Amino acid sequence: MLDPVELQLFPSCLSCLAWSEDGELAVAAGENIQILTPKKTNEDTEAGSRRKPSAWNIARVRANVFTNEEWPTVMPQPRDAFSLGREQSVSNVVGLAWSSPGLGKYRRSVLAVLTSNMVLSFFETVGAQEKWTRVAVVNQVLRERAESLVENEGDRLRKSAVSTFAWCPPLKGGDGEKGPESRWGVHLLSVVTDENEVVLLRPRRTSAGYSIDVLAGVALQDLDQEHPRVQPGSLLSTVFKTQIKSLAIESGPWFYRLGGKGGKDVSSATGNVAVLYGTTVKLVKFDVSLAVDQVREPSQSRYKVTVDCHENASVEWPDIRSYHCTGPLQWLYKEGSSDIRLAAGTLGGVLLITLPSEAYEGTATSQPQVQESVFETNADDTGHEERGHWEATGAMTAVFDEETNNQSLHLGTIGGYTLATIPSADESNWQFTDPPWKQQFDNMREQFDIDGDLGGLAVGRIWGLANCRGLVAAAFTLNPGDLIEYRTAAEERTTILFSRACTQAREFDDALLRPAVPDRSPIFLRARREEVLGHILFSNGGKFDKQPWVPKILYAAACCTIVDSQNTKLLSQARKALQWIAKTTGADLVDEIENCSSPGTAVDAKSADQLAGPGQRVFEKCEICDAGIGWYSGQEAQCASGHLFVRCGLTLLSIQDPGVSKFCSICGTEYLNEELTGVSHDAELQEANRHLADVFDTCVYCNGKFRD
């Protein structure tokens, strides 16, 4: 069971929680970010300790320290371009969100952090110590774009400053090709600049770091009709337009279409982002097409992305400006549904917007249904009802519950009001109920009230909600309600509660986050290893002259098949591979070819003469004593002089150099790092290793993510 976690911090923004699909929970805490990572099942407490172990490893990351290259000095600007946050703030964290898996190193998630100086940064772990480090700054790309569009320095600053952002769902290709982008999708990021311009970006990780491409942008327009009581073109009207800010953005799901606008497109999709523009909501529609890039380099992305974006004119809003939206925003959609819903926080309530899917895609014009649910109402002497709760919504998250096959919306306010909405059986309306974590939240607030003798005036403020794998995390603080709130750094406390989407937390919920102990039985390991052998031996239809492998990798796969596999198809293909290697290189492989008829037979180490001749492109030798290395296991290697090495779990080659390995973060299996093998291996071998790593980009044996 996941117990509550108390952290010594105070949230620096609303929606202060972000939970990655890898299970990492990030909390915005002023100048820092605290990142909670689930512990492994084997990370036990100290011997003799009676204290229950924490389920998390906690890291504190400083987020407001920049180099001059990352964030150049901003000189005082004139009134039209002045920004208090950009020029005078201490760069506290005001927003954070995880990307979907696949973007970061070793296919991990990347943490995007927005600070109050309007700079958006990417963070990920670097090195064997897994230290969190800033690896990219989005504003640098926006600055280059602004310099090509405007000449005024103030306008450039506003066009390159980020006011809010959101990750789009990964965009999947439809050509059926195996590869990282077919598995993880194309990652897109939508940002809103200080000039209320929605920009769609494509971040990618390369061997040299991160590259970010600007795909499209559209400026949000404020029509004169939106201020009917103000004279169009007047000074007051101009001031209104310049003072409107976009405070939140949320990306909706992709609706896929077969093919695209061009004949070479392999996939196309339509998506919308909802933008909180002032106190109202606007929709921006993205029409995205993926096409195979025929002129790309081998290390570059497979897909070329083209985007057409504009405000969604198919949505005919009713009197949407009569509602005072404060955010946050949250899309709700279940696969196969004819409608898509958008929830927007208001003062003391929530606005539920129901859109037909045709209007979302832009294929038909329609008017959405808009309904505001007020949390509390009070009636005056005349019977007129007014809002009884005026606190803004502090956090909102949508959780899909596999047990009920429903998506529920959890929300909480900074006044301590909590609510969960569940769709009715016909999904025509929403039923309101208490979230499953509310009872635990109320118990802690009451205990705080008793401890402080506050007479029932304790207030619990909800600062963040996030979900992962059917679990919900809620971050809150406890405060006295009858006096001025004052605290010192030593008194700062934030508590995080955990529950399921529709039920209370259960005893073994922590198993949903902690990786299970992998199966290490010989039968299981052999079966998983045969998947790698099959890919190497049968790639490109088994035509060895068209395969990307160097003879050394092909020979290693054939030898591993001989000593470790009983699969007749693999043994037959291994024989063909050895015959092809012997023919093309001239190496003596008579013994190996004969051993294909006797699976389980060890392959002896080669002599010095064999290693020096044509076989130097095929056989491995010990870099310590230059002796040959034989084959008796798929997991370890030993030279003729007795030096012992671990074999790579993917290329099956012996790992002899220090510092060129990567490890599975779950089972600890060692692999050659494709980014470092160029130091001690030739370019062809490094390219072949990179090709294998693109196909098997998680651990072969337990599907865990890699680490340095």
pLDDT at 415: 87
For residue 573, tell me if it sits in a domain: yes
Whether residue 262 lies inside any domain: the answer is no
pLDDT of 48: 47
**Structurally, how many domains does the chain consist of?**
1
Q: Please identify which residue in the block is written with the tokens 């995390």.
A: 473
Question: Which neighbouring-strand residues pair with 203?
Answer: 212
Q: Residues 340-354: pLDDT tens digits?
A: 999 999 988 899 999
Which pairing describes strands 670-672 and 661-664: parallel, antiparallel, or unpaired? antiparallel
Chain-centroid distance of CA 661 in Å reads 24
Convert the pLDDT of each residue in 238-268 to its tens digit: 777 777 889 999 999 999 887 655 455 678 8
Contact 47, 53 (CB under 8 A): no
d(CA 143, CA 460): 41
* Separation of alpha carbons 708 and 125, rounded Å: 9
pLDDT at position 45, please? 46
Cβ-Cβ contacts under 8 Å for 466 (sequence gap 6 or more): 17, 18, 19, 25, 397, 472, 473
CB–CB of 562/599 below 8 Å? yes
Question: 483 by DSSP, 3-state: which?
Answer: coil
Please report whether residue 511 resides in a domain. Answer: no
Tell me the helix, strand and coil percentages in the chain, rounded to 5: 25, 35, 40
Measure the CA–CA gap between 515 and 412, rounded to whole angstroms: 30
Q: Give pLDDT tens digits for 429-488.
A: 677 889 999 999 999 999 999 998 988 889 999 999 999 988 999 999 999 887 777 788
CA–CA separation, 389 and 376 (whole Å): 6
The amino acid occupying position 155 is: D
- Whether residue 529 lies inside any domain: the answer is yes
Q: What is the pLDDT of residues 525-559, one digit of tens each?
A: 999 999 999 999 998 888 888 888 999 999 999 99
pLDDT score at 298: 56
Confirm whether 579 is domain-assigned: yes
Q: Percentage of residues in the chain with pLDDT exceeding 90?
A: 55
Within 10 Å of residue 368's Cβ, how many Cβ atoms? 22
Tokens of 564: 């470790």
Q: Which two tokens stand for residue 118?
A: 């309007």
Q: What is the pLDDT of residue 47?
A: 46
Task: Give domain status of residue 656, yes or no.
Answer: yes
- Domain assignment present for residue 667? The answer is yes
Has residue 178 got a pLDDT over 90? no
**Considering only 166-170, 419-423, 594-598, which range has the smallest mean pLDDT?**
419-423
User: Is residue 249 in a domain?
Assistant: no
> Which three-class secondary structure state does DSSP give residue 593?
helix
Q: Which domain holds residue 617?
A: 522-707
C-alpha span between 158 and 184 (Å, rounded) = 33
Q: Is the pTM of this model over 0.85?
A: yes
Strands 494-500 and 5-7: antiparallel
Residue 433 DSSP symbol: E
Q: DSSP letter at 315?
A: B
